[in-house]
Amino acid sequence: MKKTGVKRVAAGLTLQETPGELGMTAAGKGLLDEKRLQRGMSLLDKELKLQFIEALNRMEGKEYIAAFIAFGAAPTVMGKKPSSLIAFNSKVKGHMFLWQRYGREVCEELKLQYLVLKEGDGNVLVLFYKSAMLELFVNNERSLQFLRRMGYGEAVTLEQKLHMLKKRFKEICPHEVGIFLGIPVEDVEGFIKHNGKECLTSRDWKVYKNPRRAEILFRVYDAARSSVARAVVGNAKNWEYCSGNEGCAESESLIPHSYN
């Protein structure tokens, strides 16, 4: 099979958020196709997982794609992560059609901004973000230093930086996408330096420094996914409610100044 599109795995990212061949994941499938969705659900407790699957199976149209996006971008929806990547595949349950028809409306309801980073061959790779939080991350001094080294020196505003990121996605999956996704700069740099090997731990991304911080963030992201799953099961639309999940309060001290 001929491979086209993005030809490199971005720094630090693992299967959950790794654009790879065809502008999708390292495994060559949609970021949140059935396997990605299953991986996210595997982090839920057994009872909630079963309830969430049953709820999704009952949904159609806009309701389904809204729940799909909310779960896939849960840490961002709930303000714990600056952005999330989701790939829509025309071969998976009409995701492409549903995204094209309802995407803008769903994003307005979820209070998300979005940018199509790459499209073609029946796939669309979309960055979902909250502009205020993303601006804090990319304008952090350590992030700015890294982005300047990657050719973003003339990109001053967030809009200009996102435009540059999209331009870079035309040829490769650029390492700096990790900065936009809220991955600590030192982990992105560590991935580049060690060519993706010798990490201290790995889950949402490969960790090269401060694994305790990473584990806290992983718990925060899991808590966000669980909260959205419960909202879907309960047919609620209050996506931003943290519902007292363990780890949410801890994350406040990590965003974004501890990324220096």
Tens-place pLDDT, residues 10-61: 444 433 443 332 333 322 233 334 445 555 666 678 889 889 889 988 999 9
Tens-place pLDDT, residues 170-183: 888 899 999 999 99
Q: What mean pLDDT, rounded, does the chain reach? A: 80
pLDDT value for 34? 46
Confidence check: pLDDT of 160 > 80: yes
Residue 206 phi/psi, 5-degree rounding, is -85, 130
How large is the average pLDDT for residues 131-160?
A: 94
pLDDT value for 39? 57
3 state SS for 77-119: HCCCCCEEEEEEECCCCCHHHHHHHHHHHHHHHHCCEEEEEEE
Can you tell me the distance from the alpha carbon of 96 to that of 234, in angstroms, rounded to the nearest whole number? 26
More confident call, 139 vs 248: 139
Q: Is there a contact between 26 and 6 (Cβ–Cβ < 8 Å)?
A: no
Q: Is there a contact between 223 and 242 (Cβ–Cβ < 8 Å)?
A: yes
pLDDT value for 31? 32
CB count within 10 Å of CB 136 equals 18
How large is the average pLDDT for residues 196-221?
A: 93
Q: Is there a contact between 16 and 39 (Cβ–Cβ < 8 Å)?
A: yes
Can you tell me the distance from the alpha carbon of 197 to that of 12, in angstroms, rounded to the nearest whole number? 10
Tokens found for residue 202: 């790995």
Exposure b/e, 203-223, CB count within 10 A at least 16 = b? bbbbbbebeebbebbbbbbbb
Q: What is the pTM of this model?
A: 0.80
